[in-house]
Chain A
Amino acid sequence: MKYTRLGRTGLEVSRICLGCMSFGQPDRGNHAWSLSEADSLPIIRRAFEAGINFFDTANVYSLGSSEEIVGKALKELAPRSEVVIATKVHGQMRPGPNGHGLSRKAILQEIDDSLRRLGTDYVDLYQIHRWDNATPIEETLEALNDVVRAGKARYIGASSMYAWQFAKSLAVSERHGWAKFVTMQDHLNLLYREEEREMLPLCLSEGIAVIPWSPLARGRLTRPWGAETYRSDTDNFGKTLYHEEQSNKAIVDAVHAIAAARGVSAAQVALAWVAQKQPVAAPIVGVTKLPQLEDAIAAVELTLTAPEIASLEAPYTPRALAGFN
């Protein structure tokens, strides 16, 4: 496994982050395709044994069940200091007022609930899961700073939002001397490259580590265009993404052509492209089967040539914004 510092921080993370949205009791939350605890454990174990030390979950994943499974598995595998645990706050955890969002009240409640479910005293990276239009960003950032000063999070990060909102957040923290975001978890893959416009240049300029979600476009880059799976049939959020048929098909064809020429899987090619994009620290890879994990591990060793990258990128046409607005 290869490791990198997370942006301008001193934190060392593997160049693959295991996305833990795939783990969670299927009857909790909204992912019917997620794996039970028993099915999740072998995957988390193999990831750790292959050198992956970076695990990303969220309070909302299977309504807390993902955090419970990940916390328990990691406790069996390694001392706490050897793993980097990331979780998130923003989504709806209960009905009614203050049950979601980035108010001071929600954040201070949710960090404690996440720590309890994870069975740990701190998370390494505490991320806001989206932008909260109803809460002043100053309130959110001050609360996150207090979480860091209380020792409950080592670093803070953000996820999909507009670049101008992220730039404003960094400015507000800096003016107040508060902890600043060190990561951006956003949507980036060969079928969705809109982040190349604003967000990636901003992150490069400010030393923010990018940890992209859906690096394989929810599996669409790993199989012939149009093939369906249980997840693609049942994933309501996924159905809102990737509708540019002509361009998508041409890109997926290019991925498969390079995979065939190289004798590697399509997933490895698509992941290697994300991992090489500046300033990506580690793509977040969710898996439900061990061979998918092996592909991700192997992708870290694959270096694409400039002509290969050019042929993968050529068919792309601008997309409407998707994934957070």
Chain B
Amino acid sequence: MQFTRLGKTGLEVSRICFGCMSFGKLTDERPWVLGIDEARPMYRRAWEAGINFFDTANVYAEGTSEEVTGAIIKELAPRSEIVLATKVFGRMRPGPNGQGLSRVAIMTEIDNSLRRLGTDYVDLYQIHRWDPFTPPEETMEALNDVVRAGKARYIGASSMWAWQFARLQHAAETNGWTKFVSMQDQLSLTYREEEREMLPLCRADGIGVLPWSPLGGGKLTRPWGETTKRSTTDRYNKSMYNDPSSNDHAVVDALEALSKARGVSMAQLAMAWVLQVPGVSSPIVGASKLGHVEDAIASVDVTLSADEIKALEAPYQPKFVTGF
């Protein structure tokens, strides 16, 4: 495994981040979620291959992703050897203050996440989206207090507009509070809108980029037209990648052609493309089969030539922004 510093921090993370959204307790919303016994071999394989970076969120499978993740990593390694990331923002209970980035929500949710994870601190505490109803200063001050209390080592953000991210960083810098060190946003060969504003901002400020859906929700792992259980049942997935006006078909075809020419899987090549984008620290890889983990591990050692990158990028056409 290769390791990198997360952005301009001193934190060392594997170049693959193990995404834990697939694990927890099955619900109607996520029928593809896997329970702890099915999850364990995948966490173990990831850890044994050198992946030290695990990403979950309070909302994933209603907190049960954190429970599964916390229980398994405890079996795998001493806490200090693991880099554990979680998130706050989504709705955890009905009613007022049950979601969002108010001071009251953040202070409640960090303690709930630590309890479910069975740890005293997370390494990276991320805001899961922008909260239009809470002033940036309130959110950033609360996150600073979480860091000063020792409950999080670093803070990060995820999909939002670049101007909103810049606004939050400005609030922190002006007040001497902890600033975000990472951006978890959507980036893949079939979704490259972040190249316009967010990636240049992150490169300018030394923010580590942790792309989600690096394989386009699975579309980049198989020839055009094949389906899976998740692609046909996950409503969020369907809403994001089914734009009929897109040129995704041509992108997938280019990837399939390169896969045949090199004898390397489409998934590995698509991941290798994300890995080489300047500013990217570690793509978030979700897995529901051991083979997914193997592909991700192998992709770190796949190098694309300039001509190959050009061929994979050429068919892309600008899209409407999705995912937040």
Which positions in A face B, CB cutoff 8 Å?
A: 162-164, 166-168, 170-171, 174-175, 197-199, 201-202, 205, 317-321
In the bound complex, CA of A197 to CA of B200 (Å): 16
Query: Main secondary structure on chain B at its contact with chain A?
Result: helix
- B144-188 near A? 1/0 per residue, CB < 8 Å: 000000000000000001110111011001100000000000000
Are B318's CB and A174's CB within 8 A? no
Are B161's CB and A197's CB within 8 A? yes
Are A175's CB and B174's CB within 8 A? yes
Are B162's CB and A171's CB within 8 A? no
Q: A162-B200, A171-B170 are in contact. Are A198 and B162 (CB under 8 A)?
A: yes
In the bound complex, CA of A128 to CA of B197 (Å): 20
Are B318's CB and A319's CB within 8 A? yes
Are B245's CB and A317's CB within 8 A? yes
Asked if B319 is an interface residue, CB under 8 A from chain A, the answer is yes
Asked if B309 is an interface residue, CB under 8 A from chain A, the answer is no
CB of B130, distance to nearest CB on chain A (Å): 11
Asked if B310 is an interface residue, CB under 8 A from chain A, the answer is no
Please name all residues of chain A whose beta carbon is closer than 8 Å to the beta carbon of B166 when the two chains form the complex.
Answer: 163-164, 167-168, 171
Asked if B133 is an interface residue, CB under 8 A from chain A, the answer is no
Please name all residues of chain B whose beta carbon is closer than 8 Å to the beta carbon of A171 when the two chains form the complex.
Answer: 166-167, 169-170, 173-174
CB of A244, distance to nearest CB on chain B (Å): 10
Q: How many residues on chain B are close to A (CB under 8 Å)? A: 22
Please name all residues of chain B whose beta carbon is closer than 8 Å to the beta carbon of A198 when the two chains form the complex.
Answer: 161-163, 197
Please name all residues of chain A whose beta carbon is closer than 8 Å to the beta carbon of B200 when the two chains form the complex.
Answer: 162, 164
Please name all residues of chain B whose beta carbon is closer than 8 Å to the beta carbon of A162 when the two chains form the complex.
Answer: 162, 196-197, 200-201
In the bound complex, CA of A321 to CA of B320 (Å): 13
Q: A162-B200, A175-B173, A175-B174 are in contact. Are A167 and B162 (CB under 8 A)?
A: yes
**B320: nearest chain-A partner, CB-CB:** A318
In the bound complex, CA of A164 to CA of B161 (Å): 9
CB of B75, distance to nearest CB on chain A (Å): 42
Q: Which of A175, A317, A319: most chain B CB closer than 10 A?
A: A317
In the bound complex, CA of A174 to CA of B173 (Å): 11
Q: A171-B166, A318-B318, A318-B319 are in contact. Are A163 and B197 (CB under 8 A)?
A: yes
Contact residue among B163, B196, B198, B318 (Cβ-Cβ distance under 8 Å from A202) = B163
Are A163's CB and B163's CB within 8 A? yes
9 extra A-B contacts, CB within 8 A, seeds A168-B166, A197-B321? A162-B200, A162-B201, A168-B170, A175-B173, A175-B174, A197-B197, A198-B161, A199-B163, A201-B161
CB of A186, distance to nearest CB on chain B (Å): 13
Please name all residues of chain B whose beta carbon is closer than 8 Å to the beta carbon of A318 when the two chains form the complex.
Answer: 317-320
Are B197's CB and A164's CB within 8 A? yes
Please name all residues of chain A whose beta carbon is closer than 8 Å to the beta carbon of B320 when the two chains form the complex.
Answer: 318
Closest 7 CB pairs of A and B: A167-B166, A202-B163, A171-B170, A164-B201, A318-B318, A164-B162, A163-B163
**B202: nearest chain-A partner, CB-CB:** A164
In the bound complex, CA of A201 to CA of B173 (Å): 22
In the bound complex, CA of A170 to CA of B167 (Å): 9
- B182-216 near A? 1/0 per residue, CB < 8 Å: 00000000000000111011001000000000000
Please name all residues of chain A whose beta carbon is closer than 8 Å to the beta carbon of B162 when the two chains form the complex.
Answer: 162-164, 167, 198
Q: A171-B166, A197-B321, A319-B318 are in contact. Are A163 and B161 (CB under 8 A)?
A: yes
Q: A167-B167, A318-B320 are in contact. Are A174 and B174 (CB under 8 A)?
A: yes
In the bound complex, CA of A250 to CA of B197 (Å): 28
Please name all residues of chain A whose beta carbon is closer than 8 Å to the beta carbon of B170 when the two chains form the complex.
Answer: 167-168, 170-171, 174-175
In the bound complex, CA of A236 to CA of B197 (Å): 26
In the bound complex, CA of A170 to CA of B173 (Å): 13
CB of A316, distance to nearest CB on chain B (Å): 10
Please name all residues of chain B whose beta carbon is closer than 8 Å to the beta carbon of A175 when the two chains form the complex.
Answer: 170, 173-174
CB of A240, distance to nearest CB on chain B (Å): 16
**B171: nearest chain-A partner, CB-CB:** A171
In the bound complex, CA of A207 to CA of B308 (Å): 45
Please name all residues of chain A whose beta carbon is closer than 8 Å to the beta carbon of B165 when the two chains form the complex.
Answer: 164
In the bound complex, CA of A198 to CA of B245 (Å): 22
List 9 contacting pairs A-B, 8 Å CB cutoff, sorted by A.
A163-B197, A164-B163, A164-B200, A167-B162, A171-B170, A174-B174, A202-B161, A318-B320, A320-B318
Please name all residues of chain A whose beta carbon is closer than 8 Å to the beta carbon of B167 when the two chains form the complex.
Answer: 167, 171, 205
Please name all residues of chain B whose beta carbon is closer than 8 Å to the beta carbon of A164 when the two chains form the complex.
Answer: 162-163, 165-166, 197-198, 200-201, 204
CB of B50, distance to nearest CB on chain A (Å): 34
Are A167's CB and B163's CB within 8 A? yes
Q: Which of A164, A201, A321: most chain B CB closer than 10 A?
A: A164
Please name all residues of chain A whose beta carbon is closer than 8 Å to the beta carbon of B174 when the two chains form the complex.
Answer: 171, 174-175
